[in-house]
Amino acid sequence: MALELVKKVSSAILFLVSTPIGYIIDGSLLILLLVFVLARALHRERLLALAAGTKFGPAQKLFVCTEALGRLFASLAANLPVLLIAAVLSVSVVAIGETIRKVEASIEAASRIKELQTVLRNLERSLKIAEIRVLSTQNDRTTFEITYFDPENQNSIAETRTISIDGRDIYIDAIVLNFDYSEIAAGRRVNIAIPYRVFSDQVPQINGISLGGIDSKGIPYMFHRADEDIYGIAPEVYRERLKELVQLISSDTSARPAGIVRSLYGSALHKRVNTGDRYELRVEQTGGLTLRERFPF
Protein backbone atom coordinates (compact mmCIF):
# COMPACT_ATOMS: atom_id res chain seq x y z
CA MET A 1 0.00 0.00 0.00
CA ALA A 2 2.78 2.43 0.96
CA LEU A 3 4.74 1.57 -2.20
CA GLU A 4 1.68 2.22 -4.36
CA LEU A 5 1.20 5.59 -2.65
CA VAL A 6 4.84 6.54 -3.29
CA LYS A 7 4.47 5.55 -6.97
CA LYS A 8 1.29 7.61 -7.35
CA VAL A 9 2.84 10.68 -5.70
CA SER A 10 5.97 10.24 -7.82
CA SER A 11 3.90 10.01 -11.00
CA ALA A 12 1.93 13.11 -10.03
CA ILE A 13 5.11 15.13 -9.42
CA LEU A 14 6.65 13.96 -12.69
CA PHE A 15 3.45 14.83 -14.51
CA LEU A 16 3.44 18.37 -13.11
CA VAL A 17 7.10 19.13 -13.89
CA SER A 18 7.73 17.27 -17.14
CA THR A 19 4.62 17.38 -19.34
CA PRO A 20 2.96 20.20 -21.33
CA ILE A 21 -0.34 19.70 -19.50
CA GLY A 22 1.57 19.74 -16.21
CA TYR A 23 3.14 23.08 -17.16
CA ILE A 24 -0.32 24.47 -17.95
CA ILE A 25 -1.60 23.31 -14.56
CA ASP A 26 1.44 24.83 -12.81
CA GLY A 27 0.96 28.13 -14.63
CA SER A 28 -2.77 28.16 -13.90
CA LEU A 29 -2.18 27.59 -10.18
CA LEU A 30 0.41 30.39 -10.10
CA ILE A 31 -1.98 32.78 -11.83
CA LEU A 32 -4.78 31.82 -9.42
CA LEU A 33 -2.46 32.49 -6.47
CA LEU A 34 -1.53 35.93 -7.80
CA VAL A 35 -5.16 36.79 -8.54
CA PHE A 36 -6.20 35.68 -5.04
CA VAL A 37 -3.45 37.70 -3.32
CA LEU A 38 -4.13 40.85 -5.35
CA ALA A 39 -7.92 40.57 -5.07
CA ARG A 40 -7.74 40.16 -1.30
CA ALA A 41 -5.38 43.14 -0.92
CA LEU A 42 -7.54 45.36 -3.16
CA HIS A 43 -10.71 44.34 -1.34
CA ARG A 44 -9.21 45.14 2.07
CA GLU A 45 -7.85 48.55 0.99
CA ARG A 46 -11.14 49.43 -0.71
CA LEU A 47 -13.02 48.77 2.53
CA LEU A 48 -10.53 50.88 4.49
CA ALA A 49 -10.86 53.72 1.97
CA LEU A 50 -14.65 53.61 2.20
CA ALA A 51 -14.50 53.64 6.00
CA ALA A 52 -12.11 56.60 5.96
CA GLY A 53 -14.02 58.38 3.20
CA THR A 54 -10.90 58.69 1.05
CA LYS A 55 -10.44 58.18 -2.68
CA PHE A 56 -9.36 54.75 -3.95
CA GLY A 57 -8.31 55.45 -7.54
CA PRO A 58 -6.00 53.76 -10.08
CA ALA A 59 -2.85 55.11 -8.45
CA GLN A 60 -3.85 53.71 -5.07
CA LYS A 61 -4.78 50.37 -6.68
CA LEU A 62 -1.39 50.16 -8.43
CA PHE A 63 0.37 50.92 -5.15
CA VAL A 64 -1.66 48.23 -3.32
CA CYS A 65 -0.91 45.63 -6.00
CA THR A 66 2.80 46.44 -5.97
CA GLU A 67 2.89 46.27 -2.19
CA ALA A 68 0.97 42.94 -2.16
CA LEU A 69 3.35 41.40 -4.69
CA GLY A 70 6.31 42.66 -2.66
CA ARG A 71 4.94 41.04 0.50
CA LEU A 72 4.30 37.80 -1.42
CA PHE A 73 7.87 37.61 -2.75
CA ALA A 74 9.26 38.56 0.65
CA SER A 75 7.25 35.74 2.21
CA LEU A 76 8.57 33.31 -0.41
CA ALA A 77 12.12 34.46 0.26
CA ALA A 78 11.65 34.05 4.01
CA ASN A 79 10.37 30.53 3.47
CA LEU A 80 13.04 29.62 0.92
CA PRO A 81 14.63 26.94 3.18
CA VAL A 82 11.24 25.27 3.57
CA LEU A 83 10.67 25.43 -0.20
CA LEU A 84 14.12 23.93 -0.83
CA ILE A 85 13.41 21.10 1.62
CA ALA A 86 10.07 20.47 -0.15
CA ALA A 87 11.87 20.39 -3.52
CA VAL A 88 14.48 17.93 -2.20
CA LEU A 89 11.72 15.75 -0.75
CA SER A 90 9.89 15.85 -4.08
CA VAL A 91 13.03 14.80 -5.96
CA SER A 92 13.56 12.01 -3.42
CA VAL A 93 9.98 10.77 -3.82
CA VAL A 94 10.38 10.78 -7.62
CA ALA A 95 13.67 8.87 -7.36
CA ILE A 96 12.17 6.30 -4.98
CA GLY A 97 9.10 5.93 -7.21
CA GLU A 98 11.25 5.39 -10.31
CA THR A 99 13.39 2.84 -8.45
CA ILE A 100 10.29 0.93 -7.36
CA ARG A 101 8.97 0.94 -10.94
CA LYS A 102 12.29 -0.30 -12.34
CA VAL A 103 12.52 -3.09 -9.76
CA GLU A 104 8.94 -4.15 -10.47
CA ALA A 105 9.57 -4.01 -14.24
CA SER A 106 12.70 -6.12 -13.80
CA ILE A 107 10.83 -8.71 -11.73
CA GLU A 108 7.97 -8.74 -14.24
CA ALA A 109 10.39 -9.12 -17.18
CA ALA A 110 12.17 -12.02 -15.46
CA SER A 111 8.82 -13.71 -14.81
CA ARG A 112 7.76 -13.10 -18.42
CA ILE A 113 10.99 -14.56 -19.79
CA LYS A 114 10.61 -17.62 -17.57
CA GLU A 115 7.06 -18.13 -18.82
CA LEU A 116 8.18 -17.74 -22.45
CA GLN A 117 10.91 -20.31 -21.81
CA THR A 118 8.27 -22.73 -20.54
CA VAL A 119 6.11 -22.03 -23.60
CA LEU A 120 9.09 -22.84 -25.81
CA ARG A 121 9.63 -26.15 -24.00
CA ASN A 122 5.99 -27.01 -24.60
CA LEU A 123 6.49 -26.36 -28.31
CA GLU A 124 9.47 -28.72 -28.53
CA ARG A 125 7.44 -31.80 -29.30
CA SER A 126 7.16 -34.28 -32.17
CA LEU A 127 3.69 -34.38 -33.65
CA LYS A 128 1.72 -34.75 -36.85
CA ILE A 129 0.52 -31.36 -37.98
CA ALA A 130 -1.12 -32.14 -41.33
CA GLU A 131 -1.95 -34.74 -43.96
CA ILE A 132 -1.54 -34.17 -47.68
CA ARG A 133 -3.59 -36.03 -50.30
CA VAL A 134 -2.70 -35.66 -53.98
CA LEU A 135 -5.95 -35.32 -55.93
CA SER A 136 -4.59 -34.90 -59.44
CA THR A 137 -1.40 -34.52 -61.46
CA GLN A 138 -3.00 -34.10 -64.88
CA ASN A 139 -1.38 -31.88 -67.51
CA ASP A 140 1.68 -31.48 -65.31
CA ARG A 141 -0.37 -29.55 -62.75
CA THR A 142 -0.67 -30.86 -59.21
CA THR A 143 -3.79 -30.45 -57.12
CA PHE A 144 -3.60 -31.59 -53.53
CA GLU A 145 -5.58 -31.28 -50.34
CA ILE A 146 -3.85 -30.38 -47.09
CA THR A 147 -5.65 -31.05 -43.81
CA TYR A 148 -4.36 -29.48 -40.61
CA PHE A 149 -4.99 -31.01 -37.20
CA ASP A 150 -5.53 -29.20 -33.93
CA PRO A 151 -3.52 -30.71 -31.03
CA GLU A 152 -5.73 -28.79 -28.60
CA ASN A 153 -8.84 -30.75 -29.61
CA GLN A 154 -7.63 -34.35 -29.77
CA ASN A 155 -6.15 -33.75 -33.21
CA SER A 156 -9.51 -32.85 -34.72
CA ILE A 157 -9.46 -31.27 -38.17
CA ALA A 158 -8.71 -27.55 -37.86
CA GLU A 159 -8.53 -26.56 -41.52
CA THR A 160 -8.66 -28.15 -44.95
CA ARG A 161 -7.66 -26.38 -48.13
CA THR A 162 -7.15 -27.42 -51.73
CA ILE A 163 -4.13 -26.08 -53.59
CA SER A 164 -3.28 -26.31 -57.29
CA ILE A 165 0.20 -25.57 -58.58
CA ASP A 166 2.02 -26.12 -61.88
CA GLY A 167 4.58 -28.93 -61.81
CA ARG A 168 4.86 -32.34 -60.16
CA ASP A 169 7.99 -31.84 -58.08
CA ILE A 170 6.54 -30.28 -54.96
CA TYR A 171 8.57 -28.41 -52.34
CA ILE A 172 7.27 -27.48 -48.90
CA ASP A 173 9.01 -24.41 -47.59
CA ALA A 174 9.20 -23.31 -43.97
CA ILE A 175 10.25 -20.42 -41.79
CA VAL A 176 12.84 -21.56 -39.27
CA LEU A 177 13.02 -19.76 -35.96
CA ASN A 178 16.39 -19.99 -34.25
CA PHE A 179 16.31 -19.04 -30.57
CA ASP A 180 19.99 -19.80 -29.82
CA TYR A 181 20.89 -16.16 -29.10
CA SER A 182 17.67 -15.32 -27.30
CA GLU A 183 17.34 -15.36 -23.52
CA ILE A 184 14.08 -17.21 -24.14
CA ALA A 185 16.14 -20.27 -25.11
CA ALA A 186 17.77 -20.37 -21.65
CA GLY A 187 21.12 -21.41 -23.09
CA ARG A 188 19.72 -24.32 -25.12
CA ARG A 189 19.84 -24.86 -28.86
CA VAL A 190 16.28 -24.37 -30.05
CA ASN A 191 14.92 -24.35 -33.60
CA ILE A 192 11.28 -24.36 -34.65
CA ALA A 193 10.18 -24.80 -38.27
CA ILE A 194 6.76 -23.56 -39.42
CA PRO A 195 5.56 -24.69 -42.89
CA TYR A 196 4.17 -21.73 -44.75
CA ARG A 197 4.26 -22.13 -48.54
CA VAL A 198 4.58 -24.60 -51.39
CA PHE A 199 6.49 -24.17 -54.65
CA SER A 200 7.50 -26.52 -57.44
CA ASP A 201 9.87 -27.23 -60.30
CA GLN A 202 7.80 -24.78 -62.36
CA VAL A 203 6.82 -22.21 -59.73
CA PRO A 204 9.81 -20.46 -58.12
CA GLN A 205 10.14 -20.25 -54.36
CA ILE A 206 9.43 -16.53 -54.24
CA ASN A 207 6.09 -17.10 -56.01
CA GLY A 208 5.08 -19.99 -53.77
CA ILE A 209 1.51 -20.48 -52.55
CA SER A 210 0.59 -20.08 -48.88
CA LEU A 211 -0.15 -23.32 -47.04
CA GLY A 212 -2.32 -21.72 -44.36
CA GLY A 213 -2.30 -23.57 -41.06
CA ILE A 214 -2.93 -20.42 -39.02
CA ASP A 215 -5.91 -19.78 -36.74
CA SER A 216 -7.96 -16.57 -36.59
CA LYS A 217 -5.52 -15.08 -34.04
CA GLY A 218 -2.51 -15.67 -36.28
CA ILE A 219 -1.24 -18.63 -34.22
CA PRO A 220 -0.14 -21.78 -36.08
CA TYR A 221 -2.33 -24.78 -35.27
CA MET A 222 0.85 -26.72 -34.53
CA PHE A 223 1.36 -24.48 -31.47
CA HIS A 224 -2.01 -25.37 -29.96
CA ARG A 225 -1.97 -27.59 -26.87
CA ALA A 226 -4.73 -29.22 -24.82
CA ASP A 227 -4.83 -28.18 -21.16
CA GLU A 228 -3.65 -31.61 -20.01
CA ASP A 229 -0.68 -31.49 -22.40
CA ILE A 230 0.63 -28.17 -21.07
CA TYR A 231 3.23 -28.53 -18.35
CA GLY A 232 5.08 -26.09 -16.13
CA ILE A 233 2.65 -23.24 -16.71
CA ALA A 234 -1.07 -22.55 -16.31
CA PRO A 235 -2.98 -23.13 -19.60
CA GLU A 236 -4.36 -19.58 -19.69
CA VAL A 237 -0.88 -18.13 -19.12
CA TYR A 238 0.52 -20.46 -21.81
CA ARG A 239 -1.97 -19.13 -24.36
CA GLU A 240 -1.39 -15.52 -23.35
CA ARG A 241 2.39 -15.88 -23.64
CA LEU A 242 1.97 -17.86 -26.87
CA LYS A 243 0.22 -14.86 -28.44
CA GLU A 244 3.08 -12.68 -27.27
CA LEU A 245 5.64 -15.11 -28.71
CA VAL A 246 3.85 -15.22 -32.08
CA GLN A 247 3.81 -11.42 -32.20
CA LEU A 248 7.51 -11.44 -31.35
CA ILE A 249 8.41 -13.83 -34.18
CA SER A 250 6.04 -12.34 -36.74
CA SER A 251 8.77 -10.30 -38.44
CA ASP A 252 12.52 -9.70 -38.44
CA THR A 253 11.90 -6.23 -37.04
CA SER A 254 10.43 -7.61 -33.82
CA ALA A 255 12.35 -10.90 -33.68
CA ARG A 256 15.96 -9.76 -34.05
CA PRO A 257 16.02 -7.38 -31.05
CA ALA A 258 14.91 -10.39 -28.98
CA GLY A 259 17.79 -12.48 -30.33
CA ILE A 260 15.54 -14.64 -32.54
CA VAL A 261 16.73 -15.31 -36.09
CA ARG A 262 14.08 -15.95 -38.75
CA SER A 263 15.23 -17.71 -41.91
CA LEU A 264 13.93 -19.78 -44.79
CA TYR A 265 14.20 -23.52 -44.52
CA GLY A 266 17.67 -24.46 -45.79
CA SER A 267 16.52 -27.42 -47.89
CA ALA A 268 12.77 -27.46 -48.47
CA LEU A 269 11.00 -30.82 -48.26
CA HIS A 270 10.75 -32.30 -51.76
CA LYS A 271 8.53 -34.97 -53.28
CA ARG A 272 7.69 -35.94 -56.85
CA VAL A 273 4.03 -36.78 -56.47
CA ASN A 274 1.45 -38.92 -58.22
CA THR A 275 -2.32 -38.96 -58.07
CA GLY A 276 -3.50 -40.75 -54.94
CA ASP A 277 -0.32 -40.23 -52.93
CA ARG A 278 -0.87 -39.46 -49.25
CA TYR A 279 1.69 -37.90 -46.95
CA GLU A 280 1.97 -37.00 -43.31
CA LEU A 281 3.61 -33.68 -42.46
CA ARG A 282 5.29 -33.78 -39.07
CA VAL A 283 7.29 -31.43 -36.91
CA GLU A 284 10.04 -33.14 -34.95
CA GLN A 285 11.30 -32.31 -31.47
CA THR A 286 14.61 -31.28 -33.03
CA GLY A 287 12.75 -28.47 -34.80
CA GLY A 288 12.78 -29.95 -38.29
CA LEU A 289 9.98 -30.98 -40.64
CA THR A 290 9.47 -34.41 -42.19
CA LEU A 291 7.14 -35.60 -44.94
CA ARG A 292 6.27 -39.27 -44.66
CA GLU A 293 4.23 -41.44 -46.99
CA ARG A 294 1.05 -42.31 -45.16
CA PHE A 295 -0.02 -45.07 -47.51
CA PRO A 296 3.00 -45.98 -49.64
CA PHE A 297 2.29 -47.26 -53.11
**Final residue belonging to a domain, choices 86, 106, 121:** 121
Query: Does 131 share its domain with 80?
Result: no
CA angle 231, 237, 239 (to 5 degrees): 90
Centroid of chain to Cα 162: 34
b/e string for 153-174 if b means 16 or more Cβ within 10 A? Answer: eeeeebbeeebebebbebbbbb
Query: Does 111 share its domain with 183?
Result: no
Per-residue pLDDT at 268: 82
**Final residue belonging to a domain, choices 121, 146, 165:** 121
Q: Which residues contact 223 (CB under 8 A, 6 or more apart)?
A: 123, 242, 246
Q: What is the pTM of this model?
A: 0.66
pLDDT one-digit tens code per residue, 57-113:
888 888 888 888 888 888 888 888 888 888 888 888 888 878 878 887 778 777 888
Total Cβ atoms within 10 A of residue 3:
13
Beta strand extents in 214-267 (DSSP E only) = 261-264
When pLDDT is cut at 50, 70 and 90, the band that residue 13 belongs to is: confident
Question: Which of 18-32, 84-98, 200-214 shows the highest mean pLDDT?
Answer: 200-214
pLDDT one-digit tens code per residue, 172-188:
998 888 887 677 767 67
Rounded percentage of the chain residues whose pLDDT exceeds 90 = 32
Query: Does 273 share its domain with 227?
Result: yes
What mean pLDDT value characterizes the chain? 86
Per-residue pLDDT at 148: 95
b/e string for 89-122 if b means 16 or more Cβ within 10 A? Answer: ebeebbeebeeeeeeeeeeeeeeebebbbbbbeb
Helix axes 20-52, 58-78, angle to 10 degrees: 130
Per-residue pLDDT at 287: 74
Query: Does 139 share its domain with 269?
Result: yes
Question: Which of 1-5, 116-120, 283-287 shows the highest mean pLDDT?
Answer: 116-120
Name the domain count of the chain.
2
Taking 80 as the threshold, does the pLDDT of residue 155 lie above it? Answer: no
- 209 by DSSP, 3-state: which? strand
Query: Does 228 share its domain with 108?
Result: no
Q: Which structural domain range is residue 32 located in?
A: 2-121
Per-residue pLDDT at 297: 45
**Final residue belonging to a domain, choices 87, 106, 121:** 121
Residue 54 CB burial class (10 angstroms; 0-12, 13-18, ≥19): exposed
Which of the residue ranges 63-67, 114-118, 263-267 would you say has the lowest mean pLDDT? Answer: 263-267
Per-residue pLDDT at 240: 92
Q: How far apart are CA 113 and CA 117, in angstroms?
A: 6
Q: Phi and psi at residue 103, in whole multiples of 5°?
A: -65, -45
State the average pLDDT over residues 230-235: 92
Query: Does 40 share its domain with 79?
Result: yes
Query: Does 97 share its domain with 209?
Result: no
Query: Does 91 share its domain with 153?
Result: no
Query: Does 131 share its domain with 254?
Result: yes
Query: Does 107 share its domain with 131?
Result: no
Query: Does 166 share its domain with 287?
Result: yes
Query: Does 141 share its domain with 279?
Result: yes
Ramachandran class of 155: left when φ > 0, alpha when ψ lies in -120 to 50, beta otherwise: left
State the average pLDDT over residues 234-255: 86
User: What is the Cα gyration radius of the chain?
Assistant: 35
Beta strand extents in the chain (DSSP E only) = 127-136, 141-150, 156-166, 169-178, 191-200, 209-210, 261-264, 269-272, 278-283, 289-293
